[in-house]
Chains A and B, each alone.
Chain A
Amino acid sequence: MWTSYLIYVFIAIGLTFNGLGVVGLLRFPDVYTRLHAATKATTFGSIFTSLGVVTWAFTQLYLSGNSWNLTLALHSLIAIAALLLTNPVGAHAIARAAYKSGVKPKYAVVDRLEVGK
């Protein structure tokens, strides 16, 4: 079916961005810039791989009518929602903990948090 091409596109986008996240983790100089790469790119990539699963499951549901596929699709959607809600909070907590334990942002042109406290 035509949705198989859609699945390929979703998985390709997802893997590309997950890979870019990993490369960013290796290339960036300090904690904060690495968190940029780690949170944004991997959240986005994981959303697209999960969307690939959802598309596959709905295609199977349409073809076979087996309700197990509906469960798979809904659980993937819940996983997407959970990822979207928890990933930024985790990044926020890591950044704040790093700052509180005295890690300064490298090459920073401005640091309002230091001036403020």
Chain B
Amino acid sequence: MIAFIITTVVAFVIYLVLTAGSGHFMMFWAPSEIVMGIFLSLIVGAITKNYLCKSGNYRMLNPARWLLFIVYGIGPFFWAMAKANLDVAYRVITGKIRPGIVKIDPKLNTDFAVTFLANSITLTPGTLTVDVDDDNVLYVHWINVPYGEEKKEYASIGKVCGSFPRWARRVADD
């Protein structure tokens, strides 16, 4: 039941964002649009209730996590992404690369946290997630492996992805 409610509310919020500007009820919406939105979200919630909250863990309902997510997205993540692009621009122009696939063990427990970290890694300096195994060990393609790093079994997490595992733990993990 709670999964159904969450799915419906999420669908309704997305519907409201998509139709903002349609009228003047509560400044932005036409009343008929809101009624139709509730009706459609109920249908979507009824059909897809088994997918959004599959793990049965509702920790992401906590608003503190949303706040941390927004802070992360605007602050460290965007900054790292800008650096990544300058780094790629540098490598495109000079052609200096030293590629390799390394292994890191971020010690995360939940699937959502691993997805979060893998996406962050893919969008930030010189790294691209290739594979994840059952123990949540990530295989990362690194465009410029520092000297000495290729001999270690697990590459140092700080060099591959900075403070991202800590953020992933705070935002998405138990």
Residues of A bordering B, CB below 8 Å = 17, 20-21, 23-24, 27-30, 32-33, 35-37, 39-41, 43-44, 67-71, 74-75, 78, 84-85, 87-89, 91-92, 95-96, 99, 105-114, 116
The verdict on A75 contacting B18 (CB below 8 Å), with A32-B128, A96-B130 known, is yes
Number of A-B contacts (CB under 8 A): 135
CA distance A23 to B119 in the complex (A): 23
CA distance A84 to B49 in the complex (A): 24
The verdict on A113 contacting B101 (CB below 8 Å), with A44-B81, A92-B130 known, is yes
Task: For B20, give its contact among A39, A43, A70 (CB under 8 Å).
Answer: A70
Contacts A89-B119, A109-B98, A113-B101 known; 18 new A-B pairs at CB < 8 A:
A20-B88, A32-B99, A32-B101, A33-B143, A36-B88, A40-B81, A44-B81, A67-B21, A74-B20, A75-B18, A92-B118, A92-B122, A105-B99, A107-B99, A110-B101, A110-B102, A114-B101, A116-B103
CA distance A37 to B117 in the complex (A): 20
Q: Which residues of B contact A107 (CB under 8 A)?
A: 97-99
The verdict on A32 contacting B130 (CB below 8 Å), with A70-B28, A110-B101, A113-B139 known, is yes
The smallest beta-carbon distance between A99 and chain B, in angstroms, is: 6
Q: Which residues of A contact B81 (CB under 8 A)?
A: 40, 43-44
Task: For A24, give its contact among B88, B131, B139, B149 (CB under 8 Å).
Answer: B88
CA distance A89 to B130 in the complex (A): 10
For the complex of A and B, the 7 pairs showing the least CB-CB separation, nearest first, are A110-B150, A88-B122, A67-B21, A110-B100, A71-B21, A70-B21, A24-B92
- Residues 1 to 31 of chain B near chain A (Cβ within 8 Å): 17-18, 20-22, 28
Q: Which residues of B contact A35 (CB under 8 A)?
A: 128
Q: Which residues of B contact A87 (CB under 8 A)?
A: 123
Residues B88 and A41 in contact, CB atoms below 8 Å apart:
yes
Residues B85 and A41 in contact, CB atoms below 8 Å apart:
yes
Residues A28 and B119 in contact, CB atoms below 8 Å apart:
no
Task: For B131, give its contact among A74, A85, A99 (CB under 8 Å).
Answer: A99
- Residues 141 to 169 of chain B near chain A (Cβ within 8 Å): 141, 143, 145, 149-151, 153
Residues A36 and B143 in contact, CB atoms below 8 Å apart:
yes
- Residues 116 to 141 of chain B near chain A (Cβ within 8 Å): 118-119, 122-124, 126, 128-131, 133, 139, 141
Residues A105 and B100 in contact, CB atoms below 8 Å apart:
yes
Closest to B133 in A: A116
Residues B92 and A95 in contact, CB atoms below 8 Å apart:
no
